Amino acid sequence: MATPIEAPTLDFSSRFPEGVVADERKGFEGYIVDADKLIEFATALRDEFGYDYLSSVTGVDYVAEEMLEVVYHAYKTIGGAGLVYKVQVARDKAEVPSLYDVFPGADFQEREAWDLMGIKFTGHPDLRRILLWEGFDGHPLRKDWQEAYYEADVKPFKSRWPEGNFYRSEEKVDYKANVKYPGNFDPEKWVPEGEDALYGSLAKYEDTDTSGLKTDHITVNLGPQHPSTHGVFRIAATLDGETIMNMKPVMGYLHRNHEKIGERNTYLQNMPFTDRLDYLSSMSNNFGYALAVEKLMNIEVPERAEYIRVLMAELTRVQNHLFAIGMFLNDLGAFFTPSLYAIEERELVLDIFEMVSGSRMMCNYFRFGGLARDLPEGALTMIRGLAFERLPRKVDEMDRFLSDNEILRSRTVGQGYLSAEDAIRYSAAGPMLRASGVPYDIRRADPYSIYDRFDFNVAVRQNGDIFDRYIIRLDEIRESLRIIQQAVEQIPEGPIQTGKPQYQVRVPAGESYGRVEGPKGELGFYVVSDGKANPYRYHVRAPSFINLTAFGPMCQGLKIADVVAVLGSIDIVLGETDR
Amino acid sequence: MYGKGILKGLGVTLKRFVNTYVDDLKWLGKRYYTAEGLAHRSSKDASGIFTVQYPEEKLPVPEEFRFIPFLVYDETEEGNEIRCTSCGICAKVCPPQCIWIVRTSDPKTGRPVPAPADFTIDADICMNCGLCSEYCPFDAIKMDHDYEIASYGRTVYGLEDLMKPASYYAEIRPINNSIEEAARKAKEEAKAAKAAARAAKAAQ
């Protein structure tokens, strides 16, 4: 790792005498940038101030102020705290210059903000809806948009108590009044223009065949129903023979607008919903959300709870990576033997989760300021047994079983290359970033919880190919086991919750961004509070979603069969991608 | 040598294959359909095949395991007494809002009475998060252990379906129950002591 350079102090007033002011609203931080200065500002941040990693782009609808705000979170890949900057535009004329040229990683996130918020990013080369379908009416994350079966703006609903006479929503809502359609919508006559736009966006490739033969390119859709896509996910690709010329992922088939649900929920009610994002690693999701809200509430977490949190987060990483490796081998054609070997070990970790939290996958274990309950008797012994005895042995066995396999190596070594520069530019996170030689791990770069106490290495590999993205997961399991071993040894006795457990927490007005190094990458929760019982804005920076930005560029020039291997090496979960 | 990696991998598979039979022999037919065999197969020392022969065998669920809530009632000499006071905290904390409570009111005065007139849980919507039981101040709503409730139709539980005796609760969650029992007892004793002190003061 390069020695961190002393960054210039953040004195924007001399560099930008106009157009950049500090955000002085109470509880808010960062800078407000004029829309016409945005590209210049972002470029300067990247080139002069060292904020080369654009982590998150999202919008907030301040309906009372008649204003939409685009929020950018930038970080340095050499580590350290981040920088927030915002652009404010009028609600009825929401146009912001696109940062696509400065940070290509903004691609999908800007499309998402356009899709859900209706913010137009001028200069974006392919600004289409990304999660919703093309004929969708309106932009659902705007505060005045109401979903099907809308009952009230916020939970709890008045109809449930004290006069809670049960009915089903569909009994009260007419079937036709369920979904809103654009004006004059006729399903018989509707043409999916979005599909044309999708295929049009793929057809930028020009034929360079010099032999005089005229060749056609064919467009192939892989998915949405395809076993290799790990869910419902579609890849539209233009092929020249078997070679991929251009490729775009199409997603949103599992979209349920998690963020809108989150804004209807109270803070605590959101906790079990975060389990359903990346359903393979719910403890990490809990962790990120708890951190974001705790930052707003400004409360501390007791020692013992911190240790249990770290234990759970690392066990989650272990089981997620085991599953990822197993399923990746499935994608390569090693039909289920490696994945079942991996799932066996994962089951033992899930046994611990079930014992501790009551559920194997939907853990819902973290609370603001602590945990739902203490570890039951015997849990630590089980964790000990796994972390000291079984898992190290089994990870080595996995390594012996797979890593030298010639078929695996010939399918993966040198394929699906992503350079370190590109990984940063495309805002790739987690194992994908580190396999490209960027030693960026939030646990080390911007430590949260008690990660600064543990002795572990940031796993990093230099080649940036599929094989490195596979092997780095084994490295990370080993490092996680080291952390677990230390945490089990050091865990103190004590309370596991600050203050009394409350179902209605008081969250002061303001914003916060809590991020954790999830198994799939940087998992961030951006929460804006207006002091009421429900979050005003709740945004998830989903690593599975943003890691896919680099998917298309990585696949260019590969054979169609390798796309599946590349996708397997990214390790996505559609519950999180589509949200 | 090309192919060495594959052979090494196949060696691992072979070892696993053999291990299953070795383990079978070690357990002399007790590996399956016995509680010890089942515990062994899901412990850190397990080797060979893990499979649990569901539904003939079932993994024991841990105490904290949670599935669809139920309402606890105490069996007293005067009959069954439901612990729920229809305070509505569970309905308010429920993330998918699947709990519906009708509060009882006194027919004469119209004032609320601490017992539910009706209690509905839409189990199709319930996400088994356990928040209702976690925040219930009266230990009245608890999460069940019975997970085999698949049905062809919709599952909506009314007050009658939800009621289960305190003895059942003590059976499925012995540790939690004893902690709560002790806390309730301490509270009652404190209350009684207070009342006695007040009575003594009044007598003076």
Taking CB atoms and an 8 Å limit, are B86 and A162 in contact across chains?
yes
Per-residue pLDDT tens over the stretch A18-32? 888 888 888 888 888
What is the band of A206 on the pLDDT scale with cuts at 50, 70, 90?
low
Res. A203: pLDDT tops 80: no
Average pLDDT over all residues of chain B: 88
Res. A531: pLDDT tops 60: yes
Specify the pLDDT at position A467. Answer: 92
Q: Reduced to 3 states, what is the DSSP secondary structure of residue A96?
A: strand
Specify the pLDDT at position A404. Answer: 87
What is the band of A487 on the pLDDT scale with cuts at 50, 70, 90?
very high
Does the CB of A176 have a partner CB in chain B at under 8 Å? no
State the average pLDDT over residues A109-114.
Answer: 92
State the average pLDDT over residues A94-99.
Answer: 90
Per-residue pLDDT tens over the stretch A248-275? 888 888 899 999 999 999 999 999 999 9
Average pLDDT over all residues of chain A: 87
What is the band of A475 on the pLDDT scale with cuts at 50, 70, 90?
very high
User: Residue A419, Cβ neighbours under 10 Å: how many?
Assistant: 12
DSSP string for A340-399: HHHHHHHHHHHHHHHHHHS-SS----EETTEESSPPPTTHHHHHHIIIIIIHHHHHHHHH
Comparing A217 with A279, the larger pLDDT belongs to: A279
Res. A225: pLDDT tops 80: yes
Taking CB atoms and an 8 Å limit, are A341 and B91 in contact across chains?
no
Nearest CA in chain B to A344: B50
Per-residue pLDDT tens over the stretch B128-153? 999 999 999 888 999 999 888 888 98
A262 neighbourhood in chain B, CB within 8 Å: none
Measure in Å the smallest separation between the Cα of A166 and chain B Cα atoms: 6
A156 neighbourhood in chain B, CB within 8 Å: 91-94, 97
Specify the pLDDT at position A202. Answer: 76
Res. A415: pLDDT tops 90: no
What is the band of A538 on the pLDDT scale with cuts at 50, 70, 90?
very high
State the average pLDDT over residues A44-66.
Answer: 88
Specify the pLDDT at position A8. Answer: 52
> Residue A85: which H helix or E strand, with range?
strand A83-90
What long-range pairs does A220-229 form, CB within 8 A, spacing at least 24? Answer: A220/A560, A222/A560, A222/A563, A222/A564, A223/A250, A224/A250, A224/A253, A228/A331, A228/A564, A228/A567, A228/A568, A229/A567, A229/A574
pTM: 0.90
What is the band of A209 on the pLDDT scale with cuts at 50, 70, 90?
low
B3 neighbourhood in chain A, CB within 8 Å: 406
Taking CB atoms and an 8 Å limit, are B13 and A401 in contact across chains?
yes
State the average pLDDT over residues B35-55.
Answer: 86
How far apart are alpha carbons A51 and A79 in whole angstroms? 10
Distances (CA, A) of A131 to A121, A263, A343, A426, A508: 16, 18, 31, 19, 32
State the average pLDDT over residues B168-183.
Answer: 89
Interface test with A, best of B14, B38, B64, B143 (most A CBs within 10 A): B64
Taking CB atoms and an 8 Å limit, are A163 and B128 in contact across chains?
no
What is the band of A3 on the pLDDT scale with cuts at 50, 70, 90?
very low
Nearest CA in chain A to B103: A162
State the average pLDDT over residues B86-97.
Answer: 90
Taking CB atoms and an 8 Å limit, are B103 and A356 in contact across chains?
no
Per-residue pLDDT tens over the stretch A453-465? 899 999 999 998 9
B135 neighbourhood in chain A, CB within 8 Å: 501, 503
Res. A2: pLDDT tops 70: no
State the average pLDDT over residues A512-540.
Answer: 91
Measure in Å the smallest separation between the Cα of A154 and chain B Cα atoms: 11
Taking CB atoms and an 8 Å limit, are B42 and A407 in contact across chains?
no
What is the band of A352 on the pLDDT scale with cuts at 50, 70, 90?
very high
Res. A287: pLDDT tops 90: yes
Res. A6: pLDDT tops 80: no
Specify the pLDDT at position A1. Answer: 40
Domains of chain B: 1-58 (no CATH), 69-193 (3.30.70.3270)
What is the band of A189 on the pLDDT scale with cuts at 50, 70, 90?
confident
Distances (CA, A) of B127 to A147, A270, B84, B91, B131: 20, 12, 21, 13, 10
